Amino acid sequence: MVLKLLSPHYRNKLNYMKHIFYLLYLLSANTLIAQTGTSKFRHVTLNAIPKPKAPANLIISDVSFNDDGGNKNKILDAEEKAEIRFTIENKGQGDAYAIIAQIEDGKKVKGTQIPSAYTIGDLQAGAKKNIIIPISGLEELETSSPDLYIKVVEGNKFDADPLSISFKSQELKKPSFKIDDYVFANKDQEGKITKGKVIQLSIVLHNTGEGDAKNININFGNPNNIFPASETNFTIPILKANEVRKLDYEFFANKQYNDVEIPISIKVTESMQRYSLNETKSISLESTLAKAQRVDVIGKEEEKIAYTNISLISDVDRNIPESKIKYENKFALIIGNEDYSSYQTDLSKEVNVEFALNDAKVFRDYCEKTFGVPSINITYIPNGTYGKIKQAVEKINKLIKNSQGNLDIFFYYAGHGLPDEQTKEPYIIPVDVSASNIENGIKLKDIYTSLTEFPTHSVTLFVDACFSGGARNQELVMARGVKVVPKYDLLKGNIVSFSASSGNQSSYAYTSKNHGMFTYFLLKSIQEANGDITYGDMWEKVKNKVSFESVKINSKEQNPQKNVGVEVEKEWSKWKFKQ
């Protein structure tokens, strides 16, 4: 009635204002469905909607769920933004006005953020629009299947046929951090901690959770008088579920550091600041550091990463069987010759015997822990020169001479061996002896003779070297030509000798285990039996495993051999490491 009383000029202005208010209402209609439920949609009809001159016909097509901005897995994941897309076309002869999409989740899935209404606006006859409705998964999203009912209404009631779309939702997959392994090591070679010398802490960081971790920060912290020799902060852009990454941190102690142990703190955080790790790894100043080993950890861009435990040290280097008894009659001489290039300036690092020091170090641990050899009875020589090796062999000889014939002797050598080209005599090569002057080396026969000159209870030798002129890496004499088959004499006395290879074969490394292949399977056989194994059983396992795995891994044959003193031909196989 009020409108009729007003002049046409004012009636037109009032209708215009009503149209404006209606459009403001439409804009405000894009409210959200939160995890608590769906807001009610209220439809208000205003006279401002133009009357139709012909019928509109709204058709919906190409309905899809899209998460290309997220995980691209066609699932609405927690903390992910996605879209409902469809095309609306007016195939009628008249225009469509004030089109609104009304949206309702029939299941009311917790943790979804979906608009209850979306304004489309007007659509002329024959025109079409691509519609994108944004939706989100919140942190508390539950695993379910949202079922959206979408009703597209038009101002003059030329509504489109309703549609429904269902998709899966996935609750938050959380990352979780764990340090799978760590090791303190010298960068160059093993040895005691020396103040002022750089120490390397290597860790393997593992995301053990189901979700990816992003923008990870790893911080290493030091106590007073410990200083970083490299970066203290490391960043990893993404660590996928079940993925691992190796990190190396270097530090050194000054001369004022007097504590018994060096504790290094490790703090791991990620982008959401919800999942973290705080641990401290310590090393005693009395500990012997291992040589830093090479570990290649490769991340894989896969939906699920196949993960196997990655260790910074070999499986035989840990969980070493222990004997409760120490045998005062047991003695061991252990030599690991790895670094020839530091003693002979004309040699390249390629001639060094990879892992020989680790072989000798871990064999020493087995002697002490498993065989029951008192530490004071162990002579351990890393990178043995001619003088050191000769003196050590002579000392063992004198100990045997002055005993009651009841000593058990273990001799272990890892390093280069070479044969004399004329006599075919096998020699072990000290790190300071040139291969061109092999006569300055130490005959293997002389070691046998020295260890059996006087009566003993038993003498056991393990020699992880080849005597044909081959090598784990590069031979000492590259131009030697055809490899030589070394000559072995019959042994006398209570002695058994196990060698890594036969004839003109080489003795290879087992790179993934940080050991020589012969030494690894020797230690593995002892470890698996908890030390309670006879020589005969050990020999069968080592011989079979090395022969098979060398062909499998190195594509080369390596067949260990044994040499037994005639006096114990029928007895040696019953000897045991633990007595």
CA dihedral 10, 12, 16, 18 (to 10 degrees): 70
Q: Using an 8 Å Cβ cutoff, are 492 and 563 in contact?
A: no
Q: Decide yes or no: CATH 2.60.40.10 for domain 28-170.
A: yes
Per the document, the length of the chain is 579
d(C-alpha 406, C-alpha 187), whole Å: 42
pLDDT band at 3 (very low <50, low <70, confident <90, very high): very low
Helix (H, G, I), strand (E, B) or coil at 317: helix
Reported pTM: 0.64
Residue 116 has pLDDT above 50, yes or no: yes
What's residue 304's pLDDT?
43
CA geometry: angle at 424 spanning 420 and 426, to 5°? 70
Residue 24 has pLDDT above 60, yes or no: no
The 277-284 sheet, strands edge to edge? 233-239, 213-221, 261-269, 277-284
Instruction: Say if 28-170 and 177-313 have the same CATH topology.
Output: yes
Give the residue-averaged pLDDT of 111-121.
94
Q: Decide yes or no: CATH 3.10.20.30 for domain 177-313.
A: no
Contacts of 325 (CB under 8 A, 6+ apart): 372
If you average pLDDT over every residue of the chain, what do you get? 84
C-beta pairs of 564-571 under 8 Å, 24+ apart in sequence:
564/491, 564/495, 564/496, 564/497, 565/452, 565/491, 565/492, 565/493, 565/494, 565/495, 565/496, 566/490, 566/491, 566/492, 567/492, 567/493, 567/494, 568/458, 568/494, 568/495, 568/496
List the domain boundaries for the chain: 28-170, 177-313, 328-574
Residue 406 has pLDDT above 50, yes or no: yes
User: Which of residues 297 and 163 earns the better pLDDT score?
Assistant: 163
What's residue 481's pLDDT?
37
Residue 482 has pLDDT above 90, yes or no: no
Lowest-confidence region among 249-258, 311-320, 468-477: 468-477
Percent of the chain with pLDDT over 70: 83
Give the residue-averaged pLDDT of 413-421.
87
Give the residue-averaged pLDDT of 555-572.
92
Instruction: Give tens-digit pLDDT for 383-394.
Output: 999 999 999 999
Instruction: Give tens-digit pLDDT for 425-448.
Output: 889 999 998 877 888 899 999 999
Fold of 328-574: Rossmann fold (3.40.50)
pLDDT band at 63 (very low <50, low <70, confident <90, very high): very high
Give the residue-averaged pLDDT of 535-541.
97
What's residue 468's pLDDT?
65
What's residue 55's pLDDT?
95
Residue 286 has pLDDT above 50, yes or no: yes
Instruction: Give tens-digit pLDDT for 176-220.
Output: 999 988 888 876 555 667 788 888 899 999 999 988 898 999 999
pLDDT band at 475 (very low <50, low <70, confident <90, very high): low
Lowest-confidence region among 5-14, 192-201, 276-285, 378-387: 5-14
pLDDT band at 162 (very low <50, low <70, confident <90, very high): very high
What's residue 421's pLDDT?
77
User: Which of residues 430 and 303 earns the better pLDDT score?
Assistant: 430
What's residue 486's pLDDT?
54
User: Which of residues 97 and 4 earns the better pLDDT score?
Assistant: 97
